[in-house]
Amino acid sequence: MSDTIELAKELIRQPSVTPDDKDCQKILKDRLSKINFKNETLEFEDVTNLWSLKGDDDPIFCFAGHTDVVPSGPLNEWKSDPFKPEIRDGLLFGRGAADMKGSIAAMITATERFISNHPNHTGSLAFLITSDEEGIAKNGTRKVIDVLEERNRKIKWCLVGEPSSTDKVGDTIKNGRRGSFGSKLIIYGIQGHVAYPHLAENPIHLVIPALQDLLSEHWDNGNDHFPSTTFQISNIHGGTGATNVIPGQIEVDFNLRYSTEITHQEIEEKVKKILDKYHFKYKIKWNLSGLPFLTDEGELVKAAQKSIKELTGTNTKLSTGGGTSDGRFIAPTGAQVLELGPINASIHRVNENVSVYDLNLLSDIYEKILENLLNPKH
């Protein structure tokens, strides 16, 4: 069994449901200290973060990832204990196998081999690991980046190990993500009896035309890298539970995933204009959880494409689809950011798994990327 698989299994054994790291980062620090990384634990409230650095020279290449996992879900639907890794039919099963303890293991072993083979490499190597990615992501990578910015430590290249691949490892890499802008909208009416609607004001009826306008709004046309902005209602809460009472208020949660063709300020203005058209009383609270970012086809993207082509023969596809990642906190510093990891078909599901072959291949790809960027003789 390879070092990559053994380390992945060791990490999966830690029931690190967000934001609890358990001992994952201790395991990583033990490995990294042996290859002369300086480990720094950064704790914010209940979140544990690791910033580990080898070298003092620019440019800094950083592997970024998260040790936290989502809850296992119904245990009776798992074929094996989610925190007791098992290999069956060439697949490693366990919570976090694909998202993203397998990637972290591949990053570590790739770095170990690279340093052993290229002790005089250029630049510096770093790891930014958090236990707060699957949760609210308030005290994880976001806070570590704040600390690094205060120190004026700039990451030039950052590879995030999120499961980006679709059908085979390396077929898709994420070189950007859409922004995420969410809202909680409260519409106020007047509670009353359904038999006397003239004495009440139904907030559900009031908001329906406005919601229809928001659903049909054309936000932008997207561009070559991003699809057009989308609007989705995620939750509606209203009513007393009784069928004969007109509610006094209703809450509507919605989210926009937006491209670089529009700003969150412009979205906010458009929404306000639509709501104000209907003259009902409301309150709205916005939450900007991530700005859109895009890494152009520069050194990092080219190094990844070249490495994947050399090792797999695949011409990788660049994508900005899917949800958000911690790359959204790193990219605004000026870093080139991309996401490259295993196949994402089983993430967050029961019986999460990753191919043993794929994890070993991923480690080789990571090592090749380091060679393409930091080995002066390559």
Where helices occur in 46-157 by DSSP H, the ranges are 102-117, 141-151
User: DSSP letters along 32-50, please?
Assistant: HHTTT-EEEEEEETTEEEE
What CATH class has 179-290? alpha beta
Confidence of residue 377 (pLDDT cuts 50, 70, 90): low
Domain 3-177+292-374: assigned CATH number: 3.40.630.10
Q: Domain ranges in the chain?
A: 3-177+292-374, 179-290
Q: For every residue of 135-173, which 3-state class applies, written as one string?
A: CCCCCCHHHHHHHHHHHCCCCCEEEECCCCECCCCCCEE
- pLDDT reported for residue 378: 52
Summary mean pLDDT of the chain: 96
Global pTM? 0.89
Of the candidates 178, 36, 58, 50, the residue with the CA atom closest to the CA atom of residue 114: 36
Residue 176: DSSP 8-state: E
CA distance 301 to 81: 38
* pLDDT tens digits along 331-348: 999 999 999 999 999 999
* pLDDT tens digits along 205-229: 999 999 999 999 999 999 999 999 9
* pLDDT tens digits along 161-216: 999 999 999 999 999 999 999 999 999 999 999 999 999 999 999 999 999 999 99
CA distance 37 to 27: 13
Catalytic site positions = 68, 133
